[in-house]
Structure formats: C-alpha cells, structure tokens
Amino acid sequence: MTSEQGSSTPKAILYSWPTSVWSTVPQLCLYEKGYSDDEYIIRYVDINEGATVMPVVLCSCSRLTGTIPTLVVPTLETTGTGVDTRYRSLRDTVSICDFLDHARSANAGHMHHPDKPAPTLAPATIEGKALSDTIISLIHLTTVDPNFLALCARNAEELADKAKKAPGQSLTARRESLLRYLEEAKHAVSESAVAPKEGNLTWEQKTVKFLEEKIKSNEQLWELYNGKAGKDREEMFFDVCRKTWTEALPETFNKLEDAIQGPFALGDQVSLADLHTISWLTRLVSIAGGDPNQSGIESLHPHLGGFKLGPKLLKFWEIWVQRESFKKVLVPATGEFERMSGH
C-alpha cells in the first residue's frame, strides 16, 4: 500500500477491504499489469462495520453506491501544479479492471519484471471478448455470491456456531453502524436548507433512502442469526443454503468447466476473466475450510453433494496458486477470509 504522504502528484485511490472478495480482483490486476506501489493508494474501508456507507466514502464516490471496491482516479487534464485536481470514480470490478488494463500500455513496461512489457489482459478478438464476458457473468451470479455463502448455514447447528463467531459478530456490528448512520442522515435532512426539485430527492434524502435499503437487507440475516426470524424462515434459509452448495455451485462449476479454454480462462495467457475467477474460487475454498495451496481446492468437494470439479478447473487452480500475484494478493487475503468465515 502506498503512503498518502510525501508526494504532491495526485494518485489513483482504490477503496478496498481485505475481506471483500471483489476488492482482490483490481489488486490482482494492478500486480499483473505491473503497476508499482507508488502509482496508487489503497485506502481500507471496514465493510464489517457498515463503513462502506460512511459519508466520506459517499462523497468521494460522488454517488450513493457505497460499493467496495471503488477506484477514484485523477483526470489527466486537471493534474499539475497549482491546479485543483478533479477525480472520477469507477465502482465495479469490471470497470476498474478495464480501466487499469487500458491505462498501462506495453511500452510502460512491467514494474515487477523490468525485462517484460506490461501484458494486455483484455481479449484481442470478438470471440475472446464474448467468452470473457460469459465467464465473468457466471462468476458474478447472485446465486453463487461468496458473500452469501460465507453467511450460509445449512442447519440449526451450523447457524448457532456461526452466530457466535465472526459472521454473526459482523452482522451485529454492521447493523449498529447502519442504524447510527441513518440517525445522522435523518438529522442532516431536518437541518438541510436545500429544497428538493419537483420529483427529485435531495442528496440528504437519497442518503436516508440508501441507508434504509441497506438496513432492510441486513436485518433479514441479522434476525436469522439472532433467533428472531421464526422456524419457518429458518427452514427456508437452510434449504436455500443447501441448494446453493449442492445445486447452484455445481451448475456454475460445470458451465465454467465447459467455458475455460485451459490452462488459463481464455487459453495460454492470463486475462481479465482469470482475475475474477481466481478471486471468486479462492474465496469459496476459504469458506469451505481450505488453504490457498494446491490441495486447498479439494476442500470444496465435501460440500457439493457428491459433485466433483472437472480437470480444467483443477488445473486452473494449480497454475494460479503458483503465480506471484496470487501469493502477493490472495494468500494474505485468505487469512482475513478465514477469520470472517469463523474458521
């Protein structure tokens, strides 16, 4: 991580958090593209306490998204001595990695390997782009969201165990933070002298609405984890969690097995699709209790209802755990993944 002190040159800022699986995707991209540590700043925002909706982040991102990761970059025409630098923000892993890929050309070189050019991670053909989009879309399906899987409980015993550990603690901390931010936002509305335009909400009103939606989605899981949801909702939750592991994940793994060209996602070279896939897969391995090493992927099999991963996915994992970027970004992140999964 680059220090925010000691340089007058505006830098890109990546808002991130170690336990955010999608935050690791742009970090992998930065490493694979060969950016040096002094070209950007990583600013950590604690998502476990609901801090993704802190006003400072909302203001920096300029919109009510509050998403992690977010990349804030200085616009070229506003950088320089005596100029008020303006920034623009990118708020999803696809947009961030596309930007990072295009912003560093082969001529810029690879800072970690000076004898090599910066690689191009975007597919060079229409067919490759279509395949890359397909793979990335599979990884980001809500039915296989690793953030949900980390909170999944397939029976009452597993729920009670997770409620006492990090997953339950993070839900409670997030709830308390969100309620506090909501009170502050409501106070800001009452104090604001800005009248909304007809048919529109003021910034302060949008903040309140955004926080209320965040609280509603968090509350449902909090109630499950705190014995306030009732038996019927608990059984529905257990059923969804079991089917996520034994039906949704195997279906997605099968589609990935068919799509991956091997040994990497699109063939012989690392691509943007790889970054999404290995970040997602590493998180799943961690949730299943596995380590970020060659045998770690085997930890998934006991959870998949008899399903076994195919040879292309196994090879994909094998080659990725040996890469420098994996060791630099995903191995340290796995320790945080494990802590938040309650292992």
| Chain segment 16-40, per-residue pLDDT in tens | 887 788 999 999 999 999 998 888 8
Q: Point out the least confidently predicted range of 167-181, 269-283, 293-307.
A: 167-181
pLDDT on residue 195: 65
Domains of the chain by residue range: 1-105, 123-147+240-343, 153-228
Q: Is the confidence at residue 192, as pLDDT, over 90? A: no
CATH topology of 1-105 equal to that of 123-147+240-343? no
Q: Point out the least confidently predicted range of 41-45, 135-139, 222-226.
A: 41-45
- Burial code (b: 16+ CB inside 10 Å, e: under 16) for 218-245 equals bbebbbbbeeebeeeebeebbeebbebb
Output the average pLDDT for the chain: 84
pLDDT on residue 87: 74
Strand-strand pairing, 87-90 and 70-74: antiparallel
Q: Is the confidence at residue 254, as pLDDT, over 60? A: yes
Q: Are 100 and 23 in contact (CB under 8 A)?
A: no
Q: Are 118 and 258 in contact (CB under 8 A)?
A: no
Give, in degrees to the nearest 5, the angle at Cα 164 between 159 and 166.
95
Which of 41-55, 80-94, 305-319: highest mean pLDDT? 305-319
Superfamily of domain covering 1-105 = Glutaredoxin (3.40.30.10)
Q: CA–CA distance from 110 to each of 31, 36, 78, 325, 342 (Å)?
A: 9, 8, 26, 13, 38
Question: Average pLDDT, stretch 60-73?
Answer: 62
Q: Is the confidence at residue 340, as pLDDT, over 50? A: yes
Question: Average pLDDT, stretch 254-262?
Answer: 97
Report how far residue 48's alpha carbon sits from residue 98's, in angstroms, rounded to the nearest whole number.
27
CATH number for domain 123-147+240-343, candidates 1.20.1050, 1.10.357, 3.20.20, 1.10.260 = 1.20.1050
Q: Is the confidence at residue 221, as pLDDT, over 90? A: yes
Q: Is the confidence at residue 50, as pLDDT, over 60? A: no
Q: Give the three-class secondary structure for 36.
A: coil
Q: Is the confidence at residue 207, as pLDDT, over 90? A: no
Say what the pTM is. Answer: 0.85
Report how far residue 274's alpha carbon sits from residue 128's, in angstroms, rounded to the nearest whole number.
13
